[in-house]
Amino acid sequence: MEFFDVNFNYIDNETLEEFFVNVPEQGGSKLIPSGISNAGVVHFVSHNATGKLGIYRLESQMTAGNGKLSISGFASDPIAKEQVQVGFQYFKGNLNRIASSSRFSEHEFHLHFVDLQNSGNSHSVSLSSLVSCCSILFNKPVQEQMVVLGSMTLGGVVNPVQDLASSMQIALEAGATKVLLPMSSAADIPTVPAETFTKFQVSFFSDPVDAVYKALGVQ
């Protein structure tokens, strides 16, 4: 059994007033805070190796270098790291479609993975890795309180979201107000309760490059 919006309470000895303290590490509205995040920060919902859904965050750094990528935060899991490489390799091979004047080869990238609910390594981090790399390279943050859904192949094929209703519910409970959703998942929207779906501003994307534009809020 999982619990969200966990909190503790205490009573002020002088006023006898009761106060409640939210615990974001256990889920709830503080996992995705309000306000614009730093460039390179991406929140996403994904399945782990056992099929359990969780909410995650990617954080990126960029330094002068020669186009290399380093990864941290994952436990020993070759599939998870391979997913990051899928997003990064697509980033390298298609950067001229996203921003022809930018050069990844002049920089070194570091992606750090954060498991916000102790769900285990994500096995669908490819698209989020692409968005994170583009965000840090362009110094353009992802839209405020946005969650990225979906994954991609090295060839740029976008995979629909598995269990869309649960994914959007987890995003809602974590504090998201915007969702980036592949067009291939449009047919599954009727499975999402109206009271959940209507809480979001939904942006649909057709391919990975479109996803980057929509995530960063650029034309």
What is the distance between the alpha carbons of residues 70 and 61, in angstroms, rounded to a whole number?
A: 10
Burial of 21 (0-12, 13-18, 19+ CB in 10 A): exposed
Backbone angles phi, psi at 55, to 5 degrees: -110, 140
All structural domains of the chain, each given as residue ranges with its CATH number in brackets, are: 1-30 (no CATH), 35-216 (3.30.230.10)
pLDDT of residue 20: 41
Which residue shows structure tokens 């034309």? Answer: 219
**Per-residue model confidence as pLDDT tens digits over 91-105:** 999 988 888 777 778
**Per-residue model confidence as pLDDT tens digits over 69-83:** 999 998 778 889 999
Higher-confidence position of 129 and 16: 129
What is the pTM assigned to this prediction? 0.84
